[in-house]
Amino acid sequence: MTIHIEELTIDTIIGILDFERNSKQKVVIETKINYIYTEKEFINYAEVIDIIEKSLHTNRYELLEDALSGIARVLFLNYSQIETLYLKISKPDIIKNAVVSLFAEWNNASKHQRI
């Protein structure tokens, strides 16, 4: 099975510039989670959203790279049945005429290593 979460929009503190540390900014999260489904082991997408939101609000990451790794780590800890995980974080308002994004993929064998 594959869960797609698209356009999860969160206002949070993220970034290394002074103004980014003082004011929340909008980030948009996209994720795709491939996992082994059984009747007794499924992944609740509402819980995944909650995990992502809590991770961003609690950790107030400086780098998008650290945010991606931190979110992936928590998702793999909570859901051992994840086979592959794709995460993308976009900052739609940081540059006037562009949307800046970072993405990474992990597989179950590497868990915390980008593919």
pLDDT one digit per residue (tens) for the chain, 115 residues: 999 999 999 999 999 988 889 999 999 999 999 999 988 889 999 999 999 999 999 999 999 999 999 999 999 999 999 999 999 999 999 999 999 999 999 998 665 555 4
54-78 confidence digits (pLDDT tens): 999 999 999 999 999 999 999 999 9
Q: How far apart are CA 11 and CA 14, in angstroms?
A: 9
Q: What share of the chain is helix, strand, coil (3-state, %, to 5)?
A: 30, 40, 30
How is domain 2-107 classified at the architecture level of CATH?
Answer: 2-Layer Sandwich (3.30)
pTM of this prediction exceeds 0.95: no
